[in-house]
Chain A
């Protein structure tokens, strides 16, 4: 059976390729960790479930593409995209999100789905439906007699993701704005009473999420390909990660992201590539089921 062959390949014949599989899982996880963290922020602070998360990522990717064809260097691209997406996120908040804040939880899902549809189609109209990518022509390193290769672009993306994540964490912990956000998340009314402008906090949080997704998008366009309709894949993965990790738990989100990335690659390797998209989705279901079982013992449900 094919599965047996794959298992033998991994552990008997060429165990060195485990290194490659693990690396791929980590690279995948790193990019998703960013967008998952943004989703966790928005969900935890504002109780908005943003189905358009993936489309924000793709939008960031397209911006990067446009800038790259104008020969803007990578670090500058990242900064420009982050700033642009931040402003864009603020705008979306003002136009749309503000009004659905106090509503039924499901409303946010559907409204953001409408947003997702809109963004996808506009990107399709502007950039065309072709699959696109940025080739930075960076070197690829190989190890172990070419059995393991690491494209420097993926390492850079991993590094950048780490830097961004770290910046956000420090910001949330140390800065006043970060504290305001956390206060609002814990108890919006109390925060308001204490003089925090919760509307601004929400706007900022949403804009921050948008910026994080944009940054993830830049990385995606460098290491993979983008297309206007790929957003949903990223949205589903982000949801899977956040559900697995729980809200407001950054180390959890990162671990979950890497975990899911690794799971995906190993499933692809052992059971078959045909299952690589079903893998993160299955994790989502399994986590939810697990939660249910553990909560049932306390006669509770997963809310």
Chain B
């Protein structure tokens, strides 16, 4: 029995030592302001977690190179402490608490995905630590009355709603009733995709359109053939798909293989899945919503125009041919922090929080102004269409679109 006692003591000592070794990082370390972020570096969100992290890092580097953040006459550099939340919400919440309580972080950057943000937001909210997030678009994040959550991106229900609008426009143009439109949709079974679906369904109900296929795709499944077989049999007027990068990649491949021909196809995450590169023929005509385009005519003094941010980001990370918007909005989030620090001219988290709430700025990413609930009300969602040359062109209304989608396989 002595052994047991010994081992219990050993266990306690181990934990104690671990806590002693853990460096206590204060919010400001010398002349560096520490931001904290729980980000998905492994697990199912790892792809976009990486895009996000690069966006944060790029902005931090650019801002630091340009002289950093000036508060109260002193110049500070920015730095970000990252923990891998493994795409697990419970872990994310735990890490957020660790960042705030153990590491003393007072300024948070958001995680990737709405699911993660939903788990982490209550933590930062309870501690009164402001969080500027760039990757949680679920509208339910902004109905909670959070005072410390701010999002630079457009919310989920806007993602594919524009595509429905365009389908309605097409009918009206031909003097037909929008309610004639027959819709087929497939969404992955995860909270974010369900949110996108909710936005689409709301729009469909507005127009009175008929849903003829409504499939929920399991997250572990990389085969949409069942859905597409039904699509070919029932011949809908529009096909709507949202399933993160995996969904987009699978859809593009199988649309190609099964020679699916629906007049209008809209899906999310086209760029992230690089469908224009991998399946250029099938991807022709896809309508892809994007939070941001590099041809946007917006600019700011730090990053330049959207195009300039794009060029410089590609230089820093040459593996990208088309930069995903996840990175752009991540950089914008860091930029908001800089502006807020300087506007508040203080490092006190509540003063900075108020400064964030009052932010009204144009950035390379688009306009940013937060509503009372924390979401960005100044920036719309943009729709782009993939052309037969695998390029994305901005589509602002139905007349800019190539309709119907005509692909000869």
Contact = CB atoms under 8 A, between A and B. Distances in A.
Interface of B: 42-44, 46-47, 50, 186, 189, 214-218, 220-227, 229-230, 232-234, 245-246, 249-250, 253, 256-259, 261, 273, 278-279, 409
Nearest to A28: B223
Q: Which one of A13, A269, A276 has the highest number of Cβ atoms from chain B below 10 Å of its Cβ?
A: A276
A21 B222 CA distance: 16
A129 B216 contact: no
Contact of B230 (A9, A135, A274): A9
B249 A131 contact: yes
B225 A277 contact: no
Given A6-B230, A14-B233, A135-B253, 7 more contacts: A2-B214, A131-B47, A135-B279, A142-B409, A273-B226, A273-B227, A274-B215
A121 B86 CA distance: 12
Given A28-B223, A140-B409, A274-B189, A133 B278 contact: yes
For chain A, give the interface size range. Answer: 35 or more
Contacts of A49: none
B253 A225 contact: yes
A229 B44 CA distance: 8
Contact of A273 (B50, B215, B258): B215
A205 interface: no
B258 to A, nearest CB: 5
Interface string A24-50: 100010000000000000000000000
Per DSSP, chain A at the interface is helix
A9 B44 CA distance: 34
Interface stretch (A91-99, A143-151, A183-191, A285-293): A143-151
Q: Which one of B225, B230, B250 has the highest number of Cβ atoms from chain A below 10 Å of its Cβ?
A: B225
A278 B217 CA distance: 12
Contacts, number: 116
A224 B50 CA distance: 23
Nearest to A27: B225
Interface string A136-160: 0000101000110101011000000
B246 A268 contact: no
B229 A225 contact: no
Nearest to B46: A129
B232 A276 contact: no
A13 B223 contact: no
A20 interface: yes
B259 A149 contact: yes
A153 B257 CA distance: 9
